Amino acid sequence: MSFTKNSYRSHDYKFLLQRWRTVCRMAGLRMEKVAEIDGLPCFEVTSPIIKEHSAIYLSAGIHGDESGSTEALLAWAESNLDRLSSLPLLIYPCLNPWGLINNSRWDAKGTDLNRIWENPSNPFIQHIISRTKNITIELVITLHEDFDGQGVYLYEPSRNGISDGKADEIISAATPFIARDPRRKIDGRKAKNGIIRPRPTNPPKDGIPEALYFYLTHKCPTFTFETPSELDLSLRVQAQSAMIGHLLCSDLK
């Protein structure tokens, strides 16, 4: 797979775009520049059937030091060229291009883009909010990595803390590559077998994240995947790609 030979270029934004262009050409997807920030173009990828169906929202790279996320989203797409156009995809391959290039969690202004979804000043996020306002979103997947991560884990917001078992299945898809994070507490939240179920009534004190914004406004299943950013890139990519594949292949055929 391409990530093995290209892993040393995971912060090369132009190269990321070039590979997405190839995916779009081969799979019949549309790739459109929707904003420009700090001189860098920001892109949206959609499949043709998105007009008639409720959308599946996928995004990566909101934190630029988590390049396993941008590589994994691309790797998943590269491995599913023949079926991408039949899924109603709304994809943001990299939400923080400046951060990716500079290996930074924050944008050029020092803003954490994953804490401003209540009232964003960032034109790319403003675009996404208005783009998604009048469409139905049936599933949201946001990809992240954790510098302190000890294994793979995910967030699934929940109002009542009750599991439907899906989160457990998703993590199982990643465990051939990375074991579950064994911690009982992750970022101040209770975790069990790599699953965190944050209550939407208890958001991060410093602002509203992307995933919570979608959970609250679109009331759809929302998953945030996390891999340990200190591990080998190819394992992180395979783990995240397997989780996306599990969600999209098992439920949305």
**Interface residue list for Zn ion (CB under 5 A):** 63, 66, 144
Q: Shortest Cβ distance from residue 125 to Zn ion (Å)?
A: 15
CA dist 203 and 184 (Å) reads 19
Q: Shortest Cβ distance from residue 112 to Zn ion (Å)?
A: 9
| Identity of the residue, 84 or 196, whose beta carbon is nearer to Zn ion in the bound complex | 196
| Identity of the residue, 149 or 221, whose beta carbon is nearer to Zn ion in the bound complex | 149
Q: Shortest Cβ distance from residue 179 to Zn ion (Å)?
A: 20
Q: Shortest Cβ distance from residue 199 to Zn ion (Å)?
A: 20
Q: Shortest Cβ distance from residue 66 to Zn ion (Å)?
A: 5
| Identity of the residue, 106 or 220, whose beta carbon is nearer to Zn ion in the bound complex | 106
| Identity of the residue, 138 or 187, whose beta carbon is nearer to Zn ion in the bound complex | 187
| Identity of the residue, 144 or 180, whose beta carbon is nearer to Zn ion in the bound complex | 144
| Identity of the residue, 47 or 222, whose beta carbon is nearer to Zn ion in the bound complex | 222
Residue type, 196: I
Instruction: Provide Rg for the chain, Cα atoms.
Output: 17
Q: Shortest Cβ distance from residue 142 to Zn ion (Å)?
A: 9
SS (H, E, C) the chain: CHHHHHHHHCCCHHHHHHHHHHHHHHHCCEEEEEEEECCEEEEEEECHHHHCCCEEEEECCCCCCCHHHHHHHHHHHHCCCCCHHHCCEEEECCCCHHHHHCCCCCCCCCCCHHHECCCCCCHHHHHHHHHHHCCCEEEEEEEEEECCCCCEEEECCCCCCCCCCHHHHHHHHHCCCCCECCCCEECCEEEECCEECCCCCCCCCCCECHHHHHHHHHCCCEEEEEEECCCCHHHHHHHHHHHHHHHHHHHCC
| Identity of the residue, 106 or 175, whose beta carbon is nearer to Zn ion in the bound complex | 106
β-pair type (153-155, 195-196) = parallel
Handedness of CA 102, 103, 107, 109 (dihedral sign): negative
